[in-house]
Amino acid sequence: MSELMRAMVLEEAGTPLRAAEVPRPEPGPGQVLLRVRACGVCRTDLHVFDGDLPRPKLPLVLGHQIVGVVERVSPEVEEIAPGDRVGVSWLGWTCGSCRYCSTGRENLCERARFTGYDVDGGYAELVVADARYCFPIPPGYPDLQAAPLLCAGLVGYRCLRMAGEAERLGLYGFGGAAHLVAQVALFQGRRVFAFTREGDEEGQAFARELGAEWAGASTDLPPEELDAAILFAPAGELVPLALRAVAAGGIVVCGEIHMSDIPSFPYEILWRERAVRSVANLTRQDGFEFLRLAPEVPVRTKVRAFPLEQANEALETLRAGKVHGALVLVVDETAGAG
Ligand SMILES: [Zn+2]
Ligand SMILES: [Zn+2]
C-alpha cells in the first residue's frame, strides 16, 4: 500500500488549499486511524482559511465534521474497533484536569486541541483522532447526511440548550446549523421564526418548508416578540437587531466562533433582563446527547456534495452565502448518500 494519501492542504492563511500527496498519519497512544468517507465544510473552516482565527497549525488539513471508518487502533484503545463508523468533531482533545475540564466545561479548556486547527482534520483520505473524542454515528444516517451533525448539529444543539425553555425561537442565518436546530426545536414543541439575508426568498421558503411559522429578513421585526434568538451568521450588527426582537427576559445566543464587531446600542434594548451570550463549541456530553436525539426527531440533513479536490470551490460557495443546507466533501467515492 502506498505511504502517501490525498489531502487538501492549507499552507498559509488566505491562499487556496493545495491538492497534495502527503505522508499517511500514524495513530499515537490512545488514537485511532480513520479512513475518511465524508467531511462537512463549516464556516469555521472559512475563518481558519481566511486567517480570522489567530494560531492555526501550518501546514494544516482543515475539516472537523468527519465521518470515517476505523482502520487501525493503537493498543490502548478498547472502546472502538476496526470497522466501526465514527464521527470526529471540532473538540479533538482536552487536558481533563484544568478548572474547566473538572467542572463539566471541557469546551472551555485552555489547552484544548481542535480538529482541523491544532491538529489535522478531515479534508484528507486518512485522519488520526483521540478515541475518547470519537462519536458513534447513528445507524440509518448515510455518511453524507451524518457529517453536518458533527458541528452544525452539535454546536447548534448546544446553542439551543442555552436558549433555555424559550418557546418562540428566532434563528438568524438560516444555513447549515439553523436547518438542523429548527427541526429539533419544532420536535421540542417550540415555535420557529427564521431570519435570512434581505431578499433571500429561497432561504425563507426553505425555512418555511422545514416548519418555520414565519421567515423574513434579519432587519425585519417578527410578527410577535421572541423568547430567544440564536445567531448563526458572523455579523455583529445582528446582535442589536436580535435584542430588539426578543421580549423582556429573553436571550440572544451567538453561535459563531468569529464575528464582526458589534455596533454600540442603547442600554434600553438590553434592559429588563435581556441577555447576550456566546457559545463556544461543545462538550462530549452535548455530542452524545445530540447524536442520540437526532434519529428520534428525526433530524434530516440537506446536503450539497463536492468531491474532496473541490474543497476550495466548496469554501467559496459557503462564503457567497445562499447555501440552503450544509456542504459536504465526499472523500471516499463509495460514501453513502441519502
Ligand atoms: Zn482542560
Ligand atoms: Zn464547525
- 88-119 pLDDT, tens digit per residue, is 999 999 999 999 999 999 999 999 999 999 99
Query: For residue 125, which of 309, 328, 316 has the smallest C-alpha distance?
Result: 309
Q: Give me the pLDDT at residue 334, please.
A: 86
Q: Give me the pLDDT at residue 224, please.
A: 97
Per-residue pLDDT tens over the stretch 193-215: 999 999 999 999 999 999 999 99
Per-residue pLDDT tens over the stretch 168-186: 999 999 988 999 999 999 9
**Grid cell digits, residue 62:** 482543515
Q: Give me the pLDDT at residue 1, please.
A: 53
d(CA 35, CA 43): 23
Ligand 1 midpoint to CA 230 (Å): 27
What is the average pLDDT across 57-82? 96
Q: Which residue has the cell 478531515?
A: 122
Mean of pLDDT over the chain: 96
- For the CA atoms of 38, 188, 179, 52, what is the dihedral angle to 10 degrees? -80
**Grid cell digits, residue 42:** 463549516
Ligand 2 midpoint to CA 150 (Å): 8
Ligand 1 midpoint to CA 90 (Å): 15
Per-residue pLDDT tens over the stretch 128-157: 999 999 999 999 999 999 999 999 999 999
d(CA 141, CA 108): 30
Ligand 1 midpoint to CA 252 (Å): 27
Ligand 2 midpoint to CA 153 (Å): 9
Ligand 2 midpoint to CA 167 (Å): 26
Per-residue pLDDT at 2 exceeds 70? no
Q: Give me the pLDDT at residue 324, please.
A: 84
**Grid cell digits, residue 264:** 454600540
Ligand 2 midpoint to CA 45 (Å): 7
Ligand 1 midpoint to CA 280 (Å): 14
Ligand 1 midpoint to CA 158 (Å): 19
What is the average pLDDT across 29-44? 97
Q: Find the ligand nearest to 47 CA.
A: 2
Q: Find the ligand nearest to 41 CA.
A: 2
- For the CA atoms of 265, 271, 273, 276, what is the dihedral angle to 10 degrees? 0
Q: Can you list the positions of beta strands (E) in 202-273? A: 214-217, 226-231, 246-254
Q: Which ranges of the chain does DSSP label H, i.e. alpha helix? A: 43-50, 143-146, 152-162, 176-187, 201-209, 238-245, 284-293, 311-320
Task: Confirm if 35 and 323 have CB atoms less than 8 A apart.
Answer: no
Of all residues in the chain, what percent carry a pLDDT higher than 90? Answer: 94
Residue 321: CA count within 13 A, CB half-sphere: 14
Ligand 2 midpoint to CA 67 (Å): 14
Ligand 1 midpoint to CA 29 (Å): 19
Q: Find the ligand nearest to 96 CA.
A: 1
DSSP of 258-325, one letter per residue? S-PPPPP--GGGTTTT-EEEE--S--HHHHHHHHHHTTTTT----EEEEEGGGHHHHHHHHHH----S
d(CA 98, CA 113): 14
Query: For residue 156, which of 262, 286, 250, 35 has the smallest C-alpha distance?
Result: 286
What is the average pLDDT across 283-301? 96
Q: Find the ligand nearest to 101 CA.
A: 1
Q: Give me the pLDDT at residue 318, please.
A: 93
